[in-house]
Amino acid sequence: MEFLPELKLTLFNGWIFLFSFFLLQLYNLTFVSKQMRDKLLDRSNFDRKQWFLTLSGKFVAIPTMILMILTPITSEFIEFFLGIVMFLFGMVGLRLATLNFITTPLDQPVTKGLYSVSRNPQETMLSVILFGIGFTVGSWMIFILLVISRVFNHFQILAQEKACMKQYGDSYQEYIKKVPRYFLVF
């Protein structure tokens, strides 16, 4: 792994994985109702601080994606293999978590499937996907930017959970007591 590998746009860069991820997200959002899409993307309960932290995370994500697009895939077998495994695991997990989300009635909190072992499986799987891409291109700079982005993302998750507490009340409070925020971390 290098801190910042040589940047060049080639056929075999991290863009391949990023493009695959965006195709999956487009597929996930294409076949759901407008109400479900709105629920999935809802940020209406965020206060100024939560909006600021969310946008800050997005600004960190932009250079991260640019680096992924411009960094060639590593020739180191272990890093590449680990990255591919993480990427594929994350993609499957994200698809399953999205299916759990979109098949839950709009007026109920999502608590089935992967949501029964994590309150935020979509975000967790997104992290696995992105770190997997980081391994496939072998860049420490991408890892540093991803950690910063994920810290900002944590505050977005806290805001989403606060909104769910308002919307679902006691049933969500019980869910919080039983299920960790990120798979193994309460």
Residue 182, pLDDT > 60, answer yes
Structure tokens at 124: 């967790």
Q: Give yes or no for residue 133 having a pLDDT over 90.
A: yes
The chain-wide mean pLDDT, for the chain, equals: 87
More confident position, 71 or 162: 71
Which is nearest to 126 in space by CA: 106, 103, 154, 104?
A: 154
User: What is the phi-psi region of residue 138: left when phi exceeds 0, alpha when psi lies from -120 to 50, beta otherwise?
Assistant: left
User: Cβ(46)–Cβ(159) under 8 Å?
Assistant: yes
Q: Is the pLDDT at 121 greater than 90, yes or no?
A: yes
- Confidence band for 20, pLDDT divided at 50, 70 and 90: very high
Mean pLDDT of 6-21: 89
What is the percent of the chain where pLDDT is above 70? Answer: 98
- State which of 55-59, 131-135, 152-156 shows the largest mean pLDDT: 131-135
**In the structure encoding, which two tokens stand for residue 180, read together?**
């960790």
Which architecture characterizes domain 1-25+65-186 according to CATH?
A: Up-down Bundle (1.20)
Strand, coil or helix: 182: strand
Q: Give kind and range of the element (H or E) at residue 167.
A: helix 140-168
102 with 56: CB under 8 angstroms? no
Q: What is the pLDDT, as a whole number, of residue 78?
A: 92
**Spatial separation of the C-alpha atoms in residues 100 and 78, rounded to whole Å:** 33
Q: What is the pTM of this model?
A: 0.86
Judge whether residue 185 has pLDDT over 60.
no
Stretch 67-83: mean pLDDT: 91
Separation CA 62–CA 44 (nearest Å): 23
| Higher pLDDT, residue 185 or 5 | 5
> How many other C-beta atoms can be found within 10 angstroms of the C-beta atom of residue 170?
8
CB 9 within 8 A of CB 73: no
Task: Report which of 149, 143, 140, 147 is spatially closest to residue 4, judged by C-alpha positions.
Answer: 140
pLDDT of 1 above 80: no
